[in-house]
């Protein structure tokens, strides 16, 4: 009754299998962009502010926010912010602290 060999073998097999799957999954993941991580707060703020303000001409606002970014990173920041705004959808609203109502109101202005 105190034989634990089978249980130990099962645990070792499951652990090795999990480690192999982890390696496979890790290979498929993309490396995070260092500048996106560095300016994550500023990106979230500018996207949220554009939507909350109901701005459809958002390039000017993004460029104004970019003035706080060092010159070396400014153009990349603008590209990332504009890309985030263009790709904004209801699945990522929490990231920018937006409500669905704020997003819909902004999106409706874009269509008109």
pTM, two decimals, is 0.71
Q: What is the token pair recorded at 15?
A: 């652990």
Give, for 59, the enclosing helix (H) or strand (E). helix 59-66
Q: Whole-number mean pLDDT of the chain? A: 91
Tell me the backbone φ, ψ of residue 87, rounded to 5 degrees.
Answer: -95, 5
DSSP SS3 for 32: coil
pLDDT in tens, 33-87: 899 999 999 999 999 999 998 888 888 899 999 999 999 999 999 999 999 999 9
Q: What is the token pair recorded at 9?
A: 């073998």
* Matching residue, tokens 């920018």: 96
């Amino acid at each position: 009754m105190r034989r634990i060999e089978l249980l130990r073998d099962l645990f070792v097999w499951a652990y090795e299998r999990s480690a192999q799957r982890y390696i496979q999954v890790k290979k498929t993941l993309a490396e995070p962009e260092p500048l996106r991580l560095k300016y994550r707060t500023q990106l979230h703020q500018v996207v949220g502010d554009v939507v909350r303000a109901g701005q459809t001409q958002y390039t000017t606002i993004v460029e104004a926010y970019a003035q706080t970014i060092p010159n070396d990173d400014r153009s990349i920041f603008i590209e990332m912010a504009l890309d985030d705004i263009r790709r904004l959808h209801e699945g990522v609203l929490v990231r920018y602290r937006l409500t669905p109502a704020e997003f819909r109101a902004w999106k409706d202005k874009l269509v008109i």
